[in-house]
Structure 1
Amino acid sequence: MQVFYATQFVLPLPPGHRFPMAKYQLLRDRLAAERPEIRLQQAEPASDGELALAHSPAYIKAISDGSISPQAMREIGFPWSEAMADRARRSVGATIAACRAALRDGVAANIAGGTHHACADKGGGFCVFNDAAVAARLLQAEWGRSRARPLQVAVIDLDVHQGNGTARIFRADPTVFTLSMHGQKNFPFRKEASDLDVDLPDGCRDDEYLQALEQALAELERRFEPALVVYLAGADPHEGDRLGRLKLSWDGLEARDRRVFDWAFQRRIPLAFAMAGGYGVRIEDTVQVQLNTFRVAAQYWQRWQNQPR
């Protein structure tokens, strides 16, 4: 299974910054040590032209050359640096590569990504560029060169925070279906309208969550026929997350992942996934949630390989 990363590009964050940058390298190290069926590959940066499929040229330039305002960077939550700009491009590049690989192999992944708060002309909530939006638009452009019908893409966003940026970018696009299951009272406090929003109460536990997910997938299938799924497999619904406010157990999160992968596999829909948020009180818990997602993903990747071509 092909997995793309940009962990060598580490943001120079000030002491005490609450973003857990170390989780990406920790996850990559454990994947390399524990999952021999995974092929780790360094991501290439997304180009200006690729980013412009979902972002304004002025915003891309401001991020690239550092002319972005301090206020805009405060909304993103990171200090500007060349490393920050480069890493943001490579995070998008990793999801692009994962989507291409998924269309070939059934399942592929980005170790980071899931930057769903980024809008066309601004970032927010630790999100600079919207990797799922850029990847969806680029894969649609590549797909359209040889096929009459456009590539229908479903973004299944199970990060605990609403995918407001993705919803805004695709709000008038009938070829992309945005599904977001998130904490009703959590960030962002001003939500955008996804194609399907599922608001969850604080303290939501496994049974309630999984029932809501089942209903959401049924509604997605009723309204849309995707040929590619981009899955944001956030670790932050876990009960040990500092920012999540939900109460999913280890087993509940594994059941969530297994249901999404199984839904896509049963319908023969290729699936690329990104890790999105995770802010565990113990960073090891966040990494373990994500590692569990990769374990489930690898099982479904193997099932894809066993299918007749």
Structure 2
Amino acid sequence: MTQPQQAGPDQLAFQQYRTLLFSVAYRVLGTAADAEDAVQETWLKWSSADRAQVADPKAYLTRIVTNVAMEQLRSTRRQRETYVGPWLPEPILTGPDTADDVATADSVSMALLVVLETLTPLERAVFVLKEVFAFSYVEIAQAVERSEAAVRQAALRARAHVQARRPRFAADRARQRDVTERFFAATTGGDINTLMELLSPDVTLWTDGGGKVRQALKPVVGLETVARWFAALGSVTYQGIEPGQMRAELTSVNGGPGVVFRGPDRVIATLTFDFDEQGRISTLHNVANPDKLRAVTEGTRHELC
């Protein structure tokens, strides 16, 4: 973002809420690149606004970024209808502050973002502002430019939809990290027996290649099938890269433990996990579309609120 060296009051106010703006936009859009575009457009609108008429910069900026994100989402939804294979959100690297805050980490998890994809743009924006950022219905109505009654109805629909598709379990973060580390070791060692111990009986693997790289076009379901898929990673060529040339590292992705796979000159894929009530891996999201790996490739860790 190009800005003068001397920050004026308008820039200081914008920078104060920049993390909030990105956090809202990313959850509404599901892609870091589009979220950054929404923040950039918010800056342009903010810099040309008559700020003498702005009583609450936070509310004003949130309204701008929310509406920009909703409009972008309406546009990208049409593009996603012709997407090759499952469409998964764009993964981002997150810092320890995000991982340590259970509520924040859950709200930016790949599993929840996938569920949010099934909401309408209005429902998604209302859910994010209400459930994640605890905005009042009056504040949300102003932000999305709808009546308070319409917002309450959208919130009710969104909450019911998410609860039906995203069961919540007590988050034992230490258990999740331990299972992820054991899964990582078993995968790199081709240990199918350990993999089968760590996976839920009805585990599902979702892969997103976007038609750019070869991936499964339908979800891979079942304990033995998924276990064999990952046990083979250390012995087969993947995306033209020999096993000896591939590196895998444990890191924090979307607020939780994840794996980044790298080749000699590029990031190949990311892997994130969702867990069942017993702490076993119930869902895996594998993003391999190179267009969605730019933020991870750049190595930027996003601070979220």
With normalisation by structure 2, the TM-score equals 0.30
Per chain length, whose mean CA-contact separation is higher, i.e. which structure has more relative contact order (CA < 8 Å, sep 6+)?
Answer: 2
Q: Greater helix share, 1 or 2? A: 2
With normalisation by structure 1, the TM-score equals 0.29
Highest CA radius of gyration, 1 or 2?
2
